[in-house]
Amino acid sequence: MQTGFTFSKLADHLASLGDVTVADLDLLAEMPSTIAHFSSHQAILRHGDDNHQCCLLLQGYLSWQDAEGMDGQITSISVPGDIPDLQTLYRPRINGNLIALGPAVVAVVPHRFFRELSARSSAMSRTLLLMLLGDHAIQRNWTINLGSRDALTRVAHLLCEITTRLQNVGLAKDFRLASPFTQSDLAAACSISPVHANRTIQELRRCNLLQWHGKTLTISDWPGLVRLARFNPAYLGIRPRDQGVRPSGPAKSAVALA
């Protein structure tokens, strides 16, 4: 992969899910896009919008949030390389609010590109479907997390999931990551109060499982956190892959939005 390939995290994500070749991934270089920058807790999409383009997350974190509740319940978190609104290829109406968790950079890509990509490459078509199915699998696991685990295990499991997904796209290799949320966001993702979220983080610190300083989160004891969370990453659909499978050329220049 040449240095500067804009959509390398997406390429990493796709390569981890399906049987794609270098030629398949090179098709991403033709992706038309507009680059948009969002501030913390800014809305990217709102409930009821009709969407005819997809948001590819390049930097930062995004979250789907309940549009009707008063507490801003977070129902999923996206990491770089994710396309959180991929389902709008089939159902354009937005159900929920897509919100930036901290500053985020997004590539806005027309639906037509993904339709043309699927028509040109059956492998990419299947892998995009696997990405969408993976989103649904994560959502089912979030339901289990909220319904059958205590607060400590919920938080530990969420941190294991986010770290694993980041590592899949070449981030958090040393178990150090930019915090995907404030403690209030963590509370909204785990359906607990902010006070309870704070106490839970303090307990994980006392157990020497993690350190949380400002906007940086470090997992101090990964095996211990995995044991506490009873975390099995199989539901993520990530598989070992040929590390040589990468796009060979840079993407077209994108238009930036302030």
- The CA angle 93-187-226, to the nearest 5 degrees, is 100
Find the mean pLDDT for residues 239-243: 61
Least confident of 56-65, 171-180, 220-229, 245-254: 245-254
Q: Hey, is 15 helix, strand or coil? A: helix
Find the mean pLDDT for residues 121-132: 96
**Per-residue pLDDT band at 180 (split at 50, 70, 90):** confident
In this structure, which amino acid lies at residue 175? F
Tell me the per-residue pLDDT of 49-75, one tens digit each, with 9 for 90 and over.
Answer: 888 999 999 999 999 998 776 677 899
pLDDT exceeds cutoff 90 at 210: yes
Find the mean pLDDT for residues 122-129: 96
DSSP for 46-93, written as a single string: -TT-B--EEEEEEEEEEEEE-SSSSS--EEEEE-TT--TTGGGGT--B
**Can you give the pLDDT at residue 67?**
73
**Can you give the pLDDT at residue 149?**
86
Mean pLDDT taken over the chain: 88
pLDDT exceeds cutoff 80 at 255: no
| Backbone angles phi and psi of 12, in degrees to 5 | -60, -45
Among 59-68, 78-87, 89-98, 183-192, top mean pLDDT goes to 78-87
pTM of the model: 0.89
**Per-residue pLDDT band at 244 (split at 50, 70, 90):** very low
- CA 14 to mean position of chain CA atoms: 13
